[in-house]
Amino acid sequence: MKLLRTIQVAAVLLLTAAFAQAAHHEGGHDDMEKGNIVEIAAGNDDFSTLVAAVKAAGLVDVLTGEGPFTVFAPTNAAFAKLPAGTVETLLKPENKDQLVAVLTYHVVAGKVMAADVVTLDSAVTVQGESVSISAGEDGVSVDNAMVVVTDIEASNGVIHVIDSVILPGA
């Protein structure tokens, strides 16, 4: 369970990085070339844990692929909320399947922008389970995580940064 939580945090970090990079692109002009989800995440130090997890899980090729994907990306701070040792345990080669499950739970097929998210009550993840989505006065949440940055556009999808790692079956 801890390994799964860590993997989910990694996926969220990847999304956060992608959002931050897209937001940083000189006002987000359409004429600027956008990086893919992994490039955006790797370009932001706040997503180093997520990027490390994506690499350990062997998901770089998938998340640099055509897509489109919507990633709910946890930051390093989100991963730090996990119990001590969780991330390290998930990154071990023998726990790769758990890591993949956690990370793919942070990814939805298709490009779902913030305006679309607020009309949904759930979305099926690439992992196969659904995440719950709720919009209210406090903002938008995905499972137990609050969305803190939205609509970071990448060449192969969109990233929404979340403040906690989400876990399948939680």
| pTM for this model (two decimals) | 0.80
d(CA 124, CA 157): 16
d(CA 34, CA 117): 22
- 145's tokens: 């995580």
- Residue 60 DSSP symbol: H
Give the pLDDT confidence score for residue 136 in this predicted structure. Answer: 85
Domain residue spans of the chain: 2-162
Residue 42 near residue 79, CB atoms below 8 Å: no
What tens-digit pLDDT sequence spans the chain (170 residues)?
433 333 333 333 333 333 344 344 333 434 346 899 999 999 999 999 999 999 999 999 999 999 899 999 999 999 999 999 999 999 999 999 999 999 999 999 999 999 987 789 999 999 999 999 998 888 899 998 999 999 999 999 999 999 999 999 86
d(CA 108, CA 110): 6
CATH T-level assignment (fold) for domain 2-162: FAS1 domain (2.30.180)
